[in-house]
Amino acid sequence: MYISPNDPLRLLIWQHFGAELRRMRESAGLTQAELASLVFVSASYIAQFEAGRRKPMTDVARRLDEALKSDGTLLRIVTKLVTPEIAEPSFILPYLEMEREAISCHVYESVRLPGILQTRQYAEAIFRAYRPHAPAADEEITELTDTRVRRRDLLSPPSNLRLWVVLHEAALHAPVGGPKTMHEQLLDLIDVIQSHRVVLQVLPFSAGEVGVMLSPFSLLRFEDLPSVLHTEALGNGILRDEAELTEHAYEVFAQLRGAALSPSASLEYLQSLAQGSQDYYSPRQLG
């Protein structure tokens, strides 16, 4: 049985997972901090799981079972009752679940548009680049693209997600999907900004070292839970909620905002780029 994100029964499932986790932890004679160190998460994550306030994740449930020698009990709860049926790589699922619960999201991207802002053609081009040997009619790529495009719903009522993006200028110069796809992506991005669904600032090349000092990251803020920092590597997503780390990340994001063009200047830049995008993104000879 799959519990949809809007189903009140979901909270009861989370609480059931938390109660089982607490019972097993106490039976093992471990504190929350001790168990956290064994499964490579923070003690506050364990506390939030046990209180039924945060969705248990597949990879964490697996490590918890190993640490508690619980014969896969916690993983079975997650797999059968909690894990959403989303066509996305498994490592990104915990982030997508948190994204649906967040009240605000601050994103820095350096080489591509954030997934939540990608058009269908742009997203499909990226997925095909990841899978260069996939056939033209590939069901998995279609499902992945559909899922990514549906994330756009978070920018419209009844969702209250507030999105603030700092986008490096380099991401706007890579011709993802070709001239037509980029032209349509720019027009869509302009429309989303003008609809006040996102605040976007372009970080220009002239920002120098500020734009190349770090990799992309996202900061999720919740109504009554600690903020979460998400970073991504090849085949791996990392979620951290230690206060010292997330506070530093907010300071870094503020630095990026300060070095970027203003929201109005960024919009003007996007509009000027869109006007000549068909020619700009056409193939050129090097040299």
Domains of the chain and CATH, by start: 9-82 (1.10.260.40), 90-280 (3.30.870)
Query: pLDDT class for 45, splitting at 50, 70, 90?
Result: confident
Answer whether residue 258 shows pLDDT above 90: yes
234: left (phi over 0), alpha (psi -120 to 50) or beta: beta
Answer whether residue 130 shows pLDDT above 90: no
pLDDT attached to residue 169? 95
Among 145-149, 200-204, 275-279, name the most confident range: 200-204
pTM (predicted TM-score)? 0.71
pLDDT attached to residue 255? 95
| C-alpha distances in Å from residue 13, one per residue of 5, 17, 120, 146, 232 | 12, 6, 34, 27, 28
Segment 43-72 shows an average pLDDT of 85
pLDDT attached to residue 218? 96
Answer yes or no: are the C-beta atoms of 94 and 239 closer than 8 Å.
yes
